[in-house]
Amino acid sequence: MKKLLTLAASVLLTLSFISCGKKIDSSTWLSNFDDAKKAAQAENKKIFLFFSGDDFDTVSAQLKTNVLTTEEFVKEYTEKFVLVNLDFSNSRYTEDQDSITGDIKLSELYNVESFPCFYILSKEGYPITQLAFDANADLDHVHITFAETDESVAKFDELLGKTKSGSNQERLAAINEIFDSTSTDLVYHLTPLNKLYLSLDKKNETGECAKHLFALSYAKAQDFFLSNEIEKACAEFETLAKNKMLKDFERQVAFYTAAFVLIQSQSNDYEKIRDYLQKSYDAAPDTEEAQTIKGSITQVQMMIDGEGDIPEQEMGPAEKPAQN
């Protein structure tokens, strides 16, 4: 026993040295998001996430030169943020393919539609607020823009704190407020809170577990979709539809979403699409949406029979399940 304890102590000591040797220098801009999250956790700081495209995005380049990479900005803002810049310059696509692939996925998960794009994140990576800067902004304008986010950041911090202590009812209410105030395009990043909600309300006493179950399924399916594992993405919604916490109309949404995922992937498996739509209809044939789904089943069957096309305008993404 003494030898085992000695060996364990030796291993722990070795690991501590290894860990110390990997300390991340967050006194300047980082270019790796995982490093930024580790540094933010270690230093209890928020993350300032900046997506840019330096060689084609003149706004990003101008902001960097005038403000963001200046010694004054970096010194001031690294005191409260871990700064991370994910740049999508053309050269990276040939010189740094592994990391650019990961960054592209991250840009999709943070719903980046144009450059530059800025977010303030919690140390966990939860999106708090998005910022915008004019191309001609100087340091004073940047200060003002950050100051305008103070209220929303403070509110988020308050809610996040409430998710960690207090009664279950208070924690659940705080999680719901964060979730409901987060853009649908960004709830992917709230999965730890979705899981926490479900662990605190195992019997669905609030009646609101469904939206957190849907959020988790969407997050998993999104990962599979981005990895081109379409069948697994669809399977997430099949599995979700079997959850006993779901009501019939929510089961309908789950099966419909599986069909929509297949259509979005441009799958030619029309039989599978039809089957998902049929299960969606059968789950709740009395809803208003059921008749539209029934019409879609007919049109997909016509496609199978070689008599028509699937009308994409009628096959939009499923709406988030309504709550009673």
Query: What are the backbone dihedrals phi and psi of residue 58, each rounded to the nearest 5 degrees, phi first?
Result: -65, -30
pLDDT at residue 4 tops 60: no
Enter the pTM of the model: 0.87
140 and 111 Cβ atoms separated by less than 8 Å? no
Mean pLDDT estimate for the chain = 89
pLDDT of the residue at 320: 44
Contact 78, 40 (CB under 8 A): no
Hey, what are 156's tokens? 């988020």
pLDDT in tens, 266-323: 999 999 999 999 999 999 999 999 999 999 999 999 989 887 665 554 444 444 444 4
Q: Could you report the per-residue pLDDT of 174-199, keeping only the tens digit for each?
A: 999 999 999 999 999 999 999 999 99
Cβ 57 vs Cβ 115: under 8 Å: yes
Residue 5 to residues 15, 16, 18, 84, Cα–Cα distance (Å): 15, 16, 20, 41
Q: What pLDDT is attached to residue 13?
A: 37
Buried/exposed 264-278: b ≥16 CB within 10 Å, e otherwise: eeeeeebebbbbbbb
The per-residue pLDDT for 255 is 98
pLDDT in tens, 31-75: 999 999 999 999 999 999 999 998 889 999 999 999 999 999 999
Each residue's pLDDT tens digit, 140-181: 999 999 999 999 999 999 999 999 999 999 999 999 999 999
**pLDDT at site 10:** 44
Q: What are the CA-CA distances from residue 288 to residues 201, 203, 281, 318 (Å)?
A: 30, 29, 11, 14
- DSSP secondary structure, 72-111, as one string: HHHHHHTTTEEEEEEE--TTHHHH-HHHHHHHHHHHHHTT
Query: Beta-strand (E) ranges in the chain?
Result: 46-52, 81-87, 117-121, 127-131
pLDDT at residue 233 greater than cutoff 60: yes
Rounded CA separation 202/317 (Å): 28
Q: What is the pLDDT of residue 306?
A: 83
Q: List 82's β-bridge partners, or say none.
A: 47
